[in-house]
Amino acid sequence: MSTSRDNLDVAFVVASPGMMTTLQDSGRIGQGHLGLPPSGALDSMSLGLANALVGNAQTNESQTGHLQECGVLEVTLMGPRLRLVGGDCVVAITGDAEVLVNGRRAEAFRALALRDGDELHIRRVLSGARAYLAVGGGFAATPFLGSVSTLVRAGIGGFSGRALAVGDRLALSDPTIGASHAGQVGEQHLPQREKRPIRVVLGPQSFFFTRAKIARFLSAEWEILTLADRMGYRLAGPELTSTVGHNIVSDALMTGSVQIPGDGRPIIAMNDRGTTGGYPKIATVIRADLARLGQMKPGDRLCFEVIDPAHAETLWRERQRAFRAYLARLAM
């Protein structure tokens, strides 16, 4: 992505930071051997759509060959109030968000042209947990190991490795990029509208649990506890203690690994998770359901359903094919 020097002083100034607003892209993929989790947007679909609406192209990560999205602001439940200074830009918000520009209602899923001095307020997220704000040309941030994603606990990525704070100045890379996209409208894509169980493949340590416990895991309705953040969600429901014990020799985690610690309350590992963990994992969430999981919040209820890996792969490939085709149409 080119950076035009003239535009370096166009920036958003943070008037209020929102509950937890961080810069996120597709994540720091392939660094797990250093203990670095992927981080990245919890709802990768909304990330891609926000960028497409303002014309931000993906870049190819040379190391792993995966596509890297431009960094966007991930907003949690209550969003930030931002004042644009130094010039104009184009933004798009995805997610079920209540958006105000200079105090007037504005639309999500639409590329909005903002003028110097405008105030953008993502007041709250109505359904789901997160909304995403992309700006044409992206935010000026230095990637660490191939990603600008913020990992607050390690103080890396994003803006000074932390969530937004009052008075932060978020410089824009090249705000001219989105100009031709102003007014573009996208589909109201909301993963949280899909009301069906979260699909999992059992394992890799499901043999730690009796058949009765696995049946209970699959038949129960679980509630996400207040201890739910970008690192993981704790669930309340029937107790699921293992007959064999709750210590394993530390083993790799994936985003969506369902771990059962000694108190029997499942923890679903999310994007800022540890790369490894020492609790047995009863199941792993499939790729196609991760974005939907990422839109869940404390108090939400969920059930699990088992499918086989080949079926999960088909769901993911179909989802990706349809989504990429849609984004390509938007870019035309």
CA 198 → CA 25, 228, 268, distances in Å?
24, 17, 11
Among residues 251, 297, 300, 326, which is the contact residue for another protein, using CB under 8 A? 251
**Comparing C-alpha atoms, which of 228, 242, 241 is closest to residue 301?**
228
Q: Helices then strands (H, E): number in the chain?
A: 4, 21
Kindly state the smallest distance separating residue 161's Cβ from another protein, in Å. Answer: 7
Site string for another protein, 89-128 (x = CB under 8 A): ----------------------------------------
- DSSP states along 80-99: -EEEEESS-EEEEEEEEEEE
Tell me how many degrees the CA angle 186-296-218 measures, rounded to the nearest 5.
125
Do 248 and 279 form a contact (C-beta atoms < 8 A)? yes
Among residues 13, 77, 154, 327, which is the contact residue for another protein, using CB under 8 A? 154
Q: Establish if 30 lies at the interface with another protein (CB under 8 A).
A: yes
List CB contacts of 278: < 8 A, sequence separation 6 or more. Answer: 247, 248, 249, 250, 251
Stretch that binds another protein, among 43-51, 68-76, 127-135, 199-207 (CB under 8 A): 199-207
Stretch that binds another protein, among 28-36, 68-76, 84-92, 132-140 (CB under 8 A): 28-36
Q: Establish if 197 lies at the interface with another protein (CB under 8 A).
A: no
Among residues 143, 155, 183, 299, which is the contact residue for another protein, using CB under 8 A? 155
Q: Which CB atom, from 87 or from 204, has the smaller least distance to another protein?
A: 204
Q: How far apart are CA 175 and CA 196, in angstroms?
A: 40
Q: Establish if 160 lies at the interface with another protein (CB under 8 A).
A: no
What length is written for the chain? 332
What's at 177, amino acid-wise?
Answer: I
List CB contacts of 295: < 8 A, sequence separation 6 or more. Answer: 42, 43, 95, 128, 129, 130, 190, 191, 192
Query: What is the distance in angstroms between the CA of the first residue and the CA of the last residue of the chain?
Result: 19
Q: How far apart are CA 96 and CA 112, in angstroms?
A: 16
- DSSP states along 252-278: E--TTEEE--TTS--EEE-TTS-SEES
Q: How far apart are CA 29 and CA 61, in angstroms?
A: 9
Q: Establish if 323 lies at the interface with another protein (CB under 8 A).
A: no
Using CB under 8 A, which residues numbered 64 to 83 contact another protein? 64-66
Q: Establish if 41 lies at the interface with another protein (CB under 8 A).
A: no
Stretch that binds another protein, among 5-13, 43-51, 185-193, 304-312 (CB under 8 A): 304-312
Using CB under 8 A, which residues numbered 260 to 289 contact another protein? 261-263, 274-278, 283-288
Stretch that binds another protein, among 47-55, 89-97, 104-112, 314-322 (CB under 8 A): 314-322
Kindly state the smallest distance separating residue 137's Cβ from another protein, in Å. Answer: 25
Q: How far apart are CA 247 and CA 60, in angstroms?
A: 40
Q: How far apart are CA 232 and CA 296, in angstroms?
A: 11
Kindly state the smallest distance separating residue 212's Cβ from another protein, in Å. Answer: 22
Q: Establish if 204 lies at the interface with another protein (CB under 8 A).
A: yes
Q: Establish if 166 lies at the interface with another protein (CB under 8 A).
A: no
Q: Establish if 230 lies at the interface with another protein (CB under 8 A).
A: no
Interface positions with another protein (CB under 8 A) = 29-36, 64-66, 144, 151, 153-156, 161, 200-201, 203-204, 227, 231, 246-252, 254-257, 261-263, 274-278, 283-288, 309-310, 312-313, 315-317, 320
